Structure 1
Amino acid sequence: MCAWTRRACSALSTPEISRLRSRPVEPDSRRFLLQRARAVIAARINRQPPPQQSAPAEVKQTRCGLFVSLHTREFPGSEAQLRGCIGHLHPRSNLEREIDLVAEQAAFADHRFAPLAGLEELQRTSIEISLLSPFEPVSDINEIDPGRHGLYILVGRSSGLLLPQVATQREWDRLTFLRHLCLKAGCCADCWKSPRARLYRFSAEVFDEDSPGVR
C-alpha cells in the first residue's frame, strides 16, 4: 500500500487533482519517467547530484498526481516485495520536477521501510509509476469498480488513499476495498458510512520497466 507526503496532504483542501492530464502519456514519456526515477535514486546513493536529462515536451507540460512504487526481490526468481511507495496527490509542478521528488522519497523517506541500502539493492528493485486521473465524488458505492478505480476518503482531519492496483493484487471486492481504505485513514472500518465522510474515486495509468513499449 502506498503513502503520500504530509506536504501534499496539507496542500489538499479539495481533491482538485490531476486536472491537466486527459489521456495516456506517450511511450517515450514513460521511458523518461522510469529512467529518471532510477537515475535520481542512484545519484542519491552515490551522493551525487542527479544527471542532466532532456525531458520530452509532454513530460514538461503535464501536471498530475504521481506515485512511485518500489518492489525488491531478495534473489532472482523470488517474489518481489514492496520496498517503498510515496506519492503526491496535488500536482505542484510538472512531471519533470515531480518525478525527482517522488522517486527520492519512495526510496529514502517511506517511514515503513529502511532507506534503500545501495546500488546492489537498487539493481534488484523494480520501479512502478502511477499517474492519477482527476478525482470524482462517489455518491453510491456501486459506482466503485475495484481494480479499475482507486479510492480516496476524507473524514474530518483524517484521510486515506489506495491505488487501483492494490485491490487487484489482493483480490478485494468492493466492501473489502472500502474497509481497508478506512483503516488506512486511521478510522474504523466502516467510516465510509459516516455523514462526515467524503469519498472519491479515480483511475491511474500504471506502468513499470517491463511494460510493453517501455524498453
Structure 2
Amino acid sequence: KLEIDEKKVPKNLREKRATFVTLLKNGEFRGCIGNILPKFPLYKDVINNSLSAAFSDPRFPQLKYAELKELKIEISILTVPKRIIYNDTDDLLAKIKPGDYGIILQSGFFQATFLPDVWKELPKKEDFLTNLSLKAGLAPDAWKNPETEFFYYRTENFTE
C-alpha cells in the first residue's frame, strides 16, 4: 500500500477536485476511470483513478508490467459541473459547444459523461449525445427526452 505523508503534499494538491485518468497504449485507449464530482484531495483522486484505470476498468484486462513502456497517462482535472438549462432539443443543441466542454447526461438513476476530447471522435452533436445516451445504458434517443438533464464542465489536462 502506498503511504503518503499528507503534511508534505502541497496545499493546492490537497484541495478536493474531480479527476479522470486516461491510459493510452501506443496511442490507443487502454483504460479510463474518474469522478465527476470532487470527493477527495486532488493527489488522492489521481492516485486512486490511476490504479483503477490500470487494474479495474472493466473494459480491459489488468495492466501488465511489460506494458508500462508503451503507456501514456493523461490526467484531466474537472471544474464543478454546471447544469444546462434548455427548452427543447434544438435549444439544447444550440447551447452545446463541441470540443469546449465535457458533457454529463443524467436520466433518473442513469448517468454518463464524455470528456471534451471525445468530441474529436464524435464531432456531430447528435452523434455525441446518442453515444452518451448509450453509454449511460439508455436508449439512443434518450437525450431527446425533456426530463433528461445535462451538465457541462471544462478540464485542465496533463499528459506524461
**TM-score, normalised with respect to structure 1:** 0.66
Distance 2:157 2:34 in 1: 13
Task: Report SS of the residue matched to 1:58.
Answer: helix
Indicate conservation of the 8 Å contact 2:77/2:156, yes or no: yes
Contact 1:154 1:160 (8 Å CA) reproduced = yes
- CA drift of 1:52 comes to 4.6
8 Å CA contact 1:146, 1:177 repeated in 2: no
Aligned pair count reads 152
Match of 2:116 among 154, 157, 164: 164
Secondary structure of 2:32's aligned partner: strand
**Residue identity opposite 2:79 in structure 1:** S
Which residue of structure 2 lines up, in the alignment, with residue 68 of structure 1?
Answer: 21
1:86 paired with 2:33, answer yes
Percent of pairs identical after alignment?
A: 32
TM-score (norm 2): 0.87
Unaligned runs of 5+ in 1: 1-48, 74-79, 210-215
Residue 85 of structure 1: SS of its match in structure 2?
strand
Hey, which of these two has a bigger chunk of strand by percent? Answer: 2
Look up the match of 1:6: none
CA distance in 2, matches of 1:134, 1:153: 15
CA RMSD of aligned residues (A): 1.6
In structure 2, the partner of 1:195 is 146
1:27-106 equivalences under 5 Å are: 49-50=1-2, 52=4, 54-60=8-14, 62-73=15-26, 80-106=27-53
Moved >4 Å (runs of 4+): 51-54
For residues 136 and 164 of structure 1, do their structure 2 counterparts lie closer, same or farther at Cα, with a shift above 3 Å needed?
A: same
Q: Output the CA distance in 1 between the equivalents of 2:3 and 2:71.
A: 20
Q: Which runs of 5+ in 2 are unaligned?
A: none
